[in-house]
Structure 1
């Protein structure tokens, strides 16, 4: 196992006396049974450790994601219009393609939705992608998706929305789950939690491996194509120590390792990390507040090879053998007592990313001939204020703003001929600027079961170090970095109508976003030839550079519905239509009016579920529309339907057997297509048989 799993130095504070307080049943799920809203005395603070949900969220489109899937990224697929850059999941995709976004604001592998775990931003400090296997070894209490940008408390990066993961606070139990699946796949998870001195300690671990599948579709394979194995593991440790009647200290550490193969020689990649955070929180007193500090340590490596046209030979073209990066940050929030009808949130935040790539990027006769290092540092410092007001119980008004100062410093890129001359040694000018975030919203319950909400917002994102400084190749295609990239800025509105009577819920949301300065990989030439920033591009290859487009304009509609057909049977469904279009001029003028790369027009899913005593069953049908592989809209990835199922039996108290299947009918889900038309597929049919034990 990688060294990241060994480096776990975090001392947990000694546990103090129990924290007894009056709490609301709707906020704390482990309290003794009582009706929602009943005040309970002598109830231990329990499930979630963040501040109470802001009343301002009544003006937002928020999805609560059921945490029933084996993998977190699979659970999030239940949200229409939420997508990763590629259709492949973390068992076969290159980690650098797993940025997350919403509502068609894609076209780039960096995340445009901001993922949080216990108030800590989670995107990779160097590249902005998300390392999904690192979250499977967590005890999560909830996962929430807040669609639409501009949440002032979230900060830079929340262009398309916010995804919030919250860890469980208190639990006294243990569990073990094992599963065996197709292609010698194994998944295992274990967790243990105990109360200690009035606090708690929760530990968990996960492991997954598989022989993998051959990514290239059957009719196009050559002798170099083989299965693409993967192996992933993670551990997490969480301690909670009540300090007094209302304040507690939360300490978290997690580590993960993730190795994958892309199905040919010279396609290994590895991703590992260690995260640690401390949070002080008072969510019960009159003056509610939280203070969080964190560190993220990441290491990434990746190889690429050039495959011959007949796919009978492959030669190495890149060895990105080390990409160390670090994320640091601190955040403070205060909620003063300003009245029963008013909520005020004040806070400040600092974030830093620092990292570099180290790689051999040119090979001759199987030996590297050129070496590159590139990287830099970014910082942002900001303060925010959010005000929510309920003049009457049925009406909520909210407004928030934020001001951030950003800097990009110490940028460099150095390339040398191994054992010889320096090819280039660039030091890029430091830059800085100020950006603002804003959001105003309304939520109105205007009739029994009916509600209306709407919002207007502005948000921004700083380019990642990867976008600024690192050129890259995929097959014959080469993309140059751009140290002059500007921040992206989104301006958007959304409005929604919902109905919920406890048995039936229906919702419709319309939205429009304009992402000004959207960063995209813009086609500037075709091989063969030499091009600035990347060197030689062979025949059949495409030369691109990261550029700020004029904008991406995305508008559409989201529909969701749920109904309890009986006490045991429920049906949920969601659909999103996204009309996204590029606005381009100058070098990006040829893209004007085209769709952004990797953004489908339609998403949909429906789940039929049954749960009664010891038996549970569900079937989920998903649809993803056709999308373009490239910015020029030449290479098309076909649409796809997939069907998943899950069947569980409790055979005795605490012991449960489970049968589940992914992509049951083995649909071809196209994940990538090369310039020569070679198609790569996402995960094929996978069947699992497993068992789980819970020890309360």
Structure 2
């Protein structure tokens, strides 16, 4: 493992690296929206040239305009009624978690995220990046949502559709890019404390300080609450428990200039998350420590070099739904993930932006669990399973601009490896019950993307794109069975890579000042889609389906007038399974956990400085619990509200309301045994400094 860590570090520090986005933008001090603002003297280098610390990656390339993307501003991010990142992302219709539960009342391993109704799997099919670093859990593929506090972020961009480029092997359904806020946005000192009507608390603190020519930011957050009963009242038993939760996270980030064009960025994150679901004793935990180092050069030869390491763990206790005793203790899942990238953007001419690079990711983990008799409580079996996965990718992409026309194209070659896999089950006296050793295997995959945009005039731009993407199975899918009692889902060490081929076309129209309309039609096909396939009563197995086809339309509308703003998105997706052979019975079925309709809208009003009043509406259409189209989850529409009112001395009153109409949100349905989502929840508190 030390060798792998050294290799990842060398990716970041080895010299000219390989770059990420596109043509150079003006330094922050020269951007139009800052020209009128007074600014203090900036540090200079030995020649007297001004050094501008940005704290971001390289600027975007023209290719951004060719794909269906949506930006979320900081005001939208911090005004979420729940104060949680999954609701923020829900402002983009088509964003979906495996289940409708939020990160206070779901099992952490079910927090996979996807786009374009390509769900049916708890693993993420969308690539989530925080300041350029993949954040998904190396073993499970879920996103640690509680560790991504909205108040720490500057902006979010959601790009739907498969992607090449750095870490493109994870961007099967699209990319979600989170950008941390810097010293220009965060207060020197900020704090927030809120309580809700069930006794839950949320507390956060922020610190941002300039240090020499650079800056450092620090942030912490702690959430705790007794939760609510996810079990309906008519199904509760004495063992039923509220969905209690407690989580905390600490983030530290530093940015320092090494020269007038070279910048070093370092970041660290630690978190711990504990929850109870459904029954007393059904406790889970997810914890981790992440670190990254990034070198960004904005000179003639633009560079972006990155190295990171994730250490994570997960535990889970499964309680019998009939006898309410412990039946499975997934007591330890230590996992390490490492990775990095090198990018180079050579100066090839004003009309072209060329990106060359490579990236690497590796995951190593092991599951340790004990099975118990539901009747006697005695230990019946101990199990261990583990292995490694890795991916190294080479990519090249070029954008060419000629007047109103932008053409972009890229290729990516991935070598994926699955190795050292094993599953061993023993009796309490250590006799071997099952021992499976999985031979290592490698695969080479060529993926690509291409797009074009053409501006008919200043108001209307047309775009079209095509792409082929890749996703490697996670260690969880390959090795770890799980139980949502009484349904058992088996792992499958023979799973193959998922591959997506997609096409889309759309337009971006600005018919009037402050009005933006976006419309996209898409056709995506995931070949070898990994799904939980029913193979018997209360028994499923992860299998590669022949394909999942998803076709649909996405629309977005933004309107701004004075202090009033509206942001709305709508997605309709017709998704179905292409089944054959053993999965022929699924042919034509809608994938599990996949709605046809999704919509989101927010209306915000700023009547005066530092005031904000906002309302949000979310709708998720009906979906099925399983692949055989049984146990329907009805549609759900929720209304939320947010109010920030300034007080004296830098303080502000904050009021938030979740699910104000108390909609009944069914998040799980197993033959009539259901779980419910967040009921009406009211928050009140104070915020200082931000």
Q: Do they superpose with TM above 0.5?
A: yes
| Residue 265 of structure 1, CA deviation | 2.1
Matches of 1:245 and 1:671, distance apart in 2: 52
Aligned position for 1:617: 613
Residue from 389, 405, 418 that aligns with 1:378? 389
Aligned position for 2:496: 486
Tell me: higher relative CO, structure 1 or 2? Use CA pairs within 8 A at least 6 residues apart: 2
Aligned position for 2:685: 690
Q: Deviations over 1:27-51 (max 9, x none)?
A: 969955369xxxx997653554101
Residue from 411, 424, 437 that aligns with 1:427? 437
Map 1:62-81 onto structure 2 (within 5 A): 62-66=69-73, 67-68=77-78, 69=80, 70-81=83-94
| Residue 53 of structure 1, CA deviation | 1.0
Q: State yes or no: 1:101 paired with 2:114.
A: yes
Q: Which runs of 5+ in 1 are unaligned?
A: 1-12, 14-20, 527-541
Give the direction of change, closer, same or farther, for the CA distance of 1:383–1:655 in structure 2 (3 Å limit).
same
Q: State yes or no: 1:241 paired with 2:237.
A: no
Matches of 1:588 and 1:388, distance apart in 2: 42
Matches of 1:218 and 1:29, distance apart in 2: 57
Q: State yes or no: 1:397 paired with 2:407.
A: yes
Deviates more, 1:135-144 or 1:416-425: 135-144
Q: 2:109 aligns to what SS in structure 1?
A: helix
Aligned position for 2:3: none
Map 1:209-248 onto structure 2 (within 5 A): 209-248=224-263
Residue from 150, 153, 159 that aligns with 2:166? 153
Map 1:431-446 onto structure 2 (within 5 A): 431-446=441-456
| Residue 367 of structure 1, CA deviation | 2.4
Q: 2:210 aligns to what SS in structure 1?
A: strand
Q: Deviations over 1:651-696 (max 9, x none)?
A: 2352111111000011011100113x1110111111000111118x
Q: 2:606 aligns to what SS in structure 1?
A: strand
Matches of 1:646 and 1:655, distance apart in 2: 16
Q: State yes or no: 1:573 paired with 2:584.
A: no
Matches of 1:569 and 1:244, distance apart in 2: 42
Aligned position for 2:68: 61
Aligned position for 1:194: 209
Task: Say whether the 8 Å CA contact 1:625–1:638 is kept in structure 2.
Answer: yes
| Residue 418 of structure 1, CA deviation | 0.9
Give the direction of change, closer, same or farther, for the CA distance of 1:167–1:207 in structure 2 (3 Å limit).
same
Q: 1:612 aligns to what SS in structure 2?
A: coil
Aligned position for 1:9: none
Give the direction of change, closer, same or farther, for the CA distance of 1:600–1:26 in structure 2 (3 Å limit).
farther
Task: Say whether the 8 Å CA contact 1:29–1:47 is kept in structure 2.
Answer: no
Q: State yes or no: 1:650 paired with 2:646.
A: yes
| Residue 85 of structure 1, CA deviation | 0.3
Give the direction of change, closer, same or farther, for the CA distance of 1:446–1:389 in structure 2 (3 Å limit).
same
Aligned position for 1:326: 336
Aligned position for 2:517: 506
Q: State yes or no: 1:664 paired with 2:660.
A: yes
Aligned position for 1:453: 463
Aligned position for 2:26: 23
Q: 1:53 aligns to what SS in structure 2?
A: coil
Residue from 324, 334, 339 that aligns with 1:314? 324
Aligned position for 1:538: none
Matches of 1:619 and 1:508, distance apart in 2: 24
| Residue 379 of structure 1, CA deviation | 1.0
Matches of 1:92 and 1:131, distance apart in 2: 14
Q: State yes or no: 1:352 paired with 2:354.
A: no
Q: State yes or no: 1:516 paired with 2:527.
A: yes
Matches of 1:52 and 1:572, distance apart in 2: 25
Task: Say whether the 8 Å CA contact 2:53–2:255 is kept in structure 1.
Answer: no
Task: Say whether the 8 Å CA contact 1:45–1:170 is kept in structure 2.
Answer: no
Residue from 573, 583, 592 that aligns with 1:588? 583
Give the direction of change, closer, same or farther, for the CA distance of 1:28–1:411 in structure 2 (3 Å limit).
farther
Aligned position for 1:558: 554
- The structure that is helix-richer by fraction is 2
Task: Say whether the 8 Å CA contact 1:29–1:46 is kept in structure 2.
Answer: no
Matches of 1:557 and 1:493, distance apart in 2: 12
Matches of 1:82 and 1:301, distance apart in 2: 27
Name the count of aligned residue pairs.
Answer: 649
Matches of 2:479 and 2:290, distance apart in 1: 25
Q: State yes or no: 1:414 paired with 2:419.
A: no
User: TM-score scaled to structure 2, two decimals?
Assistant: 0.91
Matches of 1:211 and 1:327, distance apart in 2: 33
| Residue 469 of structure 1, CA deviation | 1.0
Deviates more, 1:436-445 or 1:167-176: 167-176
Aligned position for 1:4: none
Q: State yes or no: 1:462 paired with 2:458.
A: no
Matches of 2:317 and 2:32, distance apart in 1: 47
Task: Say whether the 8 Å CA contact 2:28–2:52 is kept in structure 1.
Answer: no
Q: State yes or no: 1:338 paired with 2:355.
A: no
Map 1:219-298 onto structure 2 (within 5 A): 219-283=234-298, 285-298=299-312
Task: Say whether the 8 Å CA contact 1:330–1:350 is kept in structure 2.
Answer: yes
Q: 1:156 aligns to what SS in structure 2?
A: helix
Task: Say whether the 8 Å CA contact 1:23–1:43 is kept in structure 2.
Answer: no
Matches of 1:656 and 1:138, distance apart in 2: 15
Q: Deviations over 1:416-443 (max 9, x none)?
A: 0112411012111110010122000011
Deviates more, 1:368-377 or 1:566-575: 566-575
Q: Deviations over 1:7-38 (max 9, x none)?
A: xxxxxx9xxxxxxx993459969955369xxx
Give the direction of change, closer, same or farther, for the CA distance of 1:498–1:327 in structure 2 (3 Å limit).
same
Q: Which runs of 5+ in 2 are unaligned?
A: 1-12, 14-23
Task: Say whether the 8 Å CA contact 2:53–2:213 is kept in structure 1.
Answer: no
Task: Say whether the 8 Å CA contact 2:488–2:539 is kept in structure 1.
Answer: yes
Q: Deviations over 1:156-192 (max 9, x none)?
A: 1111100111223434622111111121111111111
Matches of 1:245 and 1:634, distance apart in 2: 61
Task: Say whether the 8 Å CA contact 2:25–2:59 is kept in structure 1.
Answer: no
Q: Deviations over 1:389-435 (max 9, x none)?
A: 0011x211100011011111100000001124110121111100101
Q: 1:423 aligns to what SS in structure 2?
A: strand
Residue from 98, 106, 126 that aligns with 2:139? 126
Matches of 1:27 and 1:635, distance apart in 2: 57
Matches of 1:686 and 1:234, distance apart in 2: 23
Deviates more, 1:321-330 or 1:69-78: 69-78
Matches of 2:460 and 2:151, distance apart in 1: 36
Q: 2:267 aligns to what SS in structure 1?
A: strand
Task: Say whether the 8 Å CA contact 1:30–1:46 is kept in structure 2.
Answer: no
Task: Say whether the 8 Å CA contact 1:597–1:633 is kept in structure 2.
Answer: yes
User: TM-score scaled to structure 1, two decimals?
Assistant: 0.90
Q: 2:36 aligns to what SS in structure 1?
A: coil
